Amino acid sequence: MKLGSMIGDVFRSLFRRPATELYPAEKRPAPERFRGKLVYDPVKCSGCQLCIKDCPSEAIELIVLDKVNKKFVLRYHQDRCTYCAQCVVNCRFSCLEMSNELWELAAVRKEPFEIYYGKDEDVAFLMEKIAKDNSGDAKIPADAP
């Protein structure tokens, strides 16, 4: 039975750096294995769609522009993603990867969270098509030609 048994801690921390930090001013880098934003490599993709089948949050859509010539664009909804890395496990051609960048997911609008991955010319082609199809609503089915 004693009083104030934490006195040692209390005095020591007077001369120690605080354990907390002033967050937006100071930031710590994410660890190496961090499951952050998904990264897609269109060259390796075979278009098997296994990643989509097991995605628990419907965060990825594969837009097949040309199946024979392997022209795919991956629409990735970062705001829906639960970062479980199941798609990475599922992918047999290791074209999906979780990067350890960007872990702050706050924005005023939703648009920045919709990311298109693919070869540059494919993405450009798709964007053009979306713009042409409808001015405004960018909803196109996943299996659009």
Residues that bind other proteins (CB under 8 A): 1-7, 9-11, 13-14, 16, 18-22, 31-35, 53-57, 82-86, 89, 98, 100
Q: Measuring CA to CA, which residue among 43, 40, 119 is closest to residue 87?
A: 40
Cβ at position 76, least distance to other proteins in Å: 17
Closest separation in Å from C-beta 97 to other proteins: 12
Q: Which is nearer to other proteins, 26 or 120 (CB)?
A: 26
Residue with tokens 């989509």: 52
Q: Of 7 and 127, which CB lies nearer to other proteins in the complex structure?
A: 7
DSSP state of 129: H
CA-CA distance, 72 to 84, in Å (whole number)?
23
Q: How far is the CB of 48 from other proteins (least distance, A)?
A: 14
CA distance 72 to 87: 16
Q: Tell me the closest approach of the beta carbon of residue 42 to other proteins, in angstroms.
A: 24
- What separation in angstroms does the CA of 139 have from each of 22, 37, 94, 129, 136? 41, 23, 28, 11, 9
Q: Decide whether 32 or 111 has the Cβ nearer to other proteins.
A: 32
Q: Which is nearer to other proteins, 21 or 121 (CB)?
A: 21
